[in-house]
Amino acid sequence: MEIRDKVIAIIADQAVLEPSDVTMDSTLEDLGIDSLGLVESIFAIEEAFDISVPFNANDPQESDFDISSVASIVAGIEKLVAEQK
């Protein structure tokens, strides 16, 4: 499974949606994922890819990790996987 598909599967699981309902331009808000859901998704992503995601729930905007859309999350994870492998 590609990184993109795996990330979408994790986000869909969190949002209780089918992966097909999660598009690259969806925002977490669109998908109904709140701050706790986001922290849980990031944990699942870290476990799935065995990486560490720099994310502070206090100030998501200030973190070195862009969560503004599914596309930005996927891009961020791809970068982290490349860096941390």
Partner 1 sequence: MKRVVITGAGTINALGHDVPETLEAMREGRCGIGQLEMRDLDRLAIKIGGQVKGFEAEGIFNRQQMALYDRFTQFTLVAARQAIAQAGLEFSGEMAAKCGVILGTSGGGMTTLDDNYRSVYEDGKNRVHPFVVPKLMNNAAASHVSMEFNLKGPSFTVASACASSNHAMAQAFQMIRCGMAPAMVTGGSESMLCFGGVKAWEGLRVMSRDACRPFSANRNGMVQGEGAGVFIFEEYEHAKKRGAEIMAEVAGYAMSSDASDIVMPSKRGAARTIAGALADSAIDCEEVGYINAHGTGTAANDKTECAAVADVFGPHADKLMISSTKSMHGHLIGGTGAVELLACIMALRDGVIAPTIGYQEPDPECALDVVPNEAREAKVNVALSNAFAFGGLNAVLALRRV
Residues of this chain that bind partner 1 (CB under 8 A): 34-36, 39, 42-43, 55-59, 62
Where does residue 50 fall: left (phi above 0), alpha (psi -120 to 50 degrees), or beta otherwise?
Answer: left
Q: Considering the complex, state which of residue 24 and residue 43 has its C-beta at the smaller distance from partner 1.
A: 43
Q: Considering the complex, state which of residue 49 and residue 55 has its C-beta at the smaller distance from partner 1.
A: 55
Q: Considering the complex, state which of residue 25 and residue 59 has its C-beta at the smaller distance from partner 1.
A: 59
Which CB contacts under 8 angstroms, 24+ apart, belong to 13-22?
Answer: 13/44, 14/40, 14/41, 14/44, 22/70
The C-alpha atoms of residue 75 and residue 81 are separated, in whole angstroms, by: 10
In the complex, minimum distance from the CB of residue 42 to partner 1, in angstroms, rounded to a whole number: 8
